[in-house]
Amino acid sequence: MSAAPKASTLASSPVSPAASPPPQTALAVVVTGGLAYGLYFGAFGAWSPYFPVYFTGLGASLAVIGVLSAIPALVQIVAAPAWGLLADRLGDVRPLLLAGAIVAGASALLLAGSPPIALLFVGVTVFALGTAGMPAMIDAHVVVRLGSARDRFGQARAIGSIGFIAVSIITGWIVAASGARSLFLIFVPLMVLTGVAAITLFGRPVTRERVGGIGPMGAIRLLNNRSLALFFLGACVTWTAASGGLTYFSLRLVEQGADAGLIGIAWAVNALIEVPMMLLFRRLTRRFGVRALIVGGAVAFGLRSAGWALAGSAVASVLASSVGGVGVALFLVGTTAWVADRTPPALRATAQALFVGTTYAVGAIVGALVAGFIASGWGLSTMFACSAATGFTGAAIVWLAVGRPVLWGRTAAG
């Protein structure tokens, strides 16, 4: 098993070890970080359920929507680690979060102008450049500020799910009354406010986080560790299954007779389950261990796709979507905690971008493209069945990876 590189070989200046903050400090981190999550994922509560409907209204085919859905993920493969590396070099995520929010908001305004299909590709690419690193940078900030109280991370992240739920439902009502273009009236302000909240509320880094000597090879060397490399593969397969099915979930509901209001509720149900699971993550970790929760989350994605394949009505599809909330909560939060305990302090933001952002991006690309191909040729039911099989395969690979972890100097629960 390859030995992981020591943190001292990756940084030109020492980095203070994470310390347990006082309870009130941990609470403040949960609140301020949660607000940033709430705004960011609230913006995507306006975007994710309705952009396929909006693009369809502009004349985009199922295949084109699949390509447009894959572009942000393709950009994220490179852009997310690049944002993370820049944040680690700078030692402060705040200005980068503001910059990303402004870029994303400006590109959304371009898309809102009903451009021709060719310009949709340009707008979506710029959109992806802005958003690619934002969640991983918020993750890194929250994990660092919580220190050894990082098992409270799920509490902050749950606020993001609450934001997604509320905004997706509200946007559904507005879209039903005013059309799909109205999603941008909600997305743009929330995205810009995410950057504003970060720059004003996050505060200066609490430790000496700025490090030198960090470059792309530092991120690549993380994959020399066999457990991390296998987990990277398993996460890519898991997100392929999750993203491929989710890309066409809204269109599946339309096929089953759902209106815009029910679509919003369906996406809210998926996110609604995330909230209690994330809030309970700390307790679940102590009872079952992080590794079991990560694998359980991956299995949940496969079960969700199987439910969508078998559902005979829009209501049944909505009920099946609730399993996805379990998957997101356990797999995403578990990954963040597991990676934080197995990567060096000098690469905090980079590691989160690589193992959360990049794996999701790879999965979204492959999932959207393959799902579009299967759906166009054999229908949505067959596509969801294939997504389920892929999800269970990803869970098996993840189990092999986390079942024999190599710790980075501290032991995590599980």
Q: Give residue 191's pLDDT.
A: 95
What are the structure tokens assigned to 179, written together?
Answer: 């059309």
pLDDT over 70 (residue 406): no
The DSSP code sequence of 122-147 is HHHHHHHHHHTTHHHHHHHHHHHHHG
Whether 335 and 235 have beta carbons less than 8 Å apart is answered as: yes
Which single residue is written with the structure tokens 């295949």? 63
- What is the band of 37 on the pLDDT scale with cuts at 50, 70, 90? very high
Confidence of residue 104 (pLDDT cuts 50, 70, 90): very high
Residue 218: predicted pLDDT = 54
Angle between helices 333-340 and 290-310 (to 10 degrees): 150
Q: Cβ contacts of residue 377 below 8 Å, gap of 6+? A: none
Q: What is the pLDDT of residue 345?
A: 66
| Residue 406 neighbours by CB distance under 10 Å | 13
Q: Evaluate whether 218 touches 52 at the Cβ level (below 8 Å).
A: no
Q: Collapsing DSSP states into helix, strand and coil, what is residue 93? A: coil
Nearest partner of 291 among 225, 335, 332, judged by Cα: 335
Query: How high is the mean pLDDT of the chain?
Result: 79
What are the φ and ψ backbone dihedral angles of 17, each rounded to 5 degrees?
-65, 155
On the 0-12 / 13-18 / 19+ scale of CB atoms within 10 A, 201 is middle
Contact between residue 43 and residue 190 where contact means Cβ atoms under 8 Å apart: yes
Q: Which two tokens stand for residue 23?
A: 């309870």
Whole-angstrom CA distances from 83 to 109, 192, 357, 364 are 23, 18, 11, 19
Calpha distance 73→218 (Å, rounded): 22
pLDDT of 303? 92
Band of pLDDT at residue 21, cut at 50, 70 and 90: very low
- Mean pLDDT across the stretch 291-315? 88
CA–CA distance, 338 with 405 (Å, rounded to integer) = 9
Percent of the chain predicted with pLDDT > 90: 18
Average pLDDT over residues 160-168: 86
- Distance CA(259)–CA(248), nearest Å, equals 15
Confidence of residue 410 (pLDDT cuts 50, 70, 90): very low
CA 400 to CA 241: how far, in whole Å?
18
Q: Which of 393, 360, 326, 120 is CA-nearest to residue 244?
A: 360
Summarised one tens digit per residue, pLDDT across range 65-98 is 878 877 887 888 888 878 878 887 787 888 999 9
Q: What is the pLDDT of residue 346?
A: 66
Domain annotation for the chain: domains and CATH numbers = 21-203+216-402 (1.20.1250.20)
State residue 184's pLDDT score. 92
Structure tokens given for 143: 């994990």
Q: Which stretches of 179-259 are DSSP H helices? A: 183-201, 216-222, 226-247, 249-255
Q: What is the Cα–Cα distance from 132 to 84, expressed in whole angstroms?
A: 10
Interval 249-262 mean pLDDT: 78
Q: How far is CA 149 from CA 20, 142, 172, 282, in A?
A: 6, 10, 37, 10
* Residues 333-346 pLDDT 10s: 888 878 877 777 66
Predicted TM-score (pTM) above 0.85: no
Which residues, 6 or more positions from 315, have their beta carbon under 8 angstroms from its beta carbon? Answer: none
Cβ–Cβ < 8 Å for 129, 76: no
Phi, psi of 248 (to 5 degrees): -110, 15
- Are 248 and 369 contacting, i.e. CB atoms less than 8 angstroms apart? no
Enumerate residues 6+ apart whose C-beta is below 8 A from 296.
288, 326, 330
Cα distances (angstroms) measured from residue 180 to each of 66, 122, 167, 171: 18, 20, 14, 9
Per-residue confidence band for 152, with pLDDT thresholds at 50, 70 and 90? confident
Residue 207 CB coordination number (10 Å): 15
Token pair of 345, please?
Answer: 């302090």
Distance of CA 95 to the CA centre of its chain: 21
pLDDT value, residue 223: 72
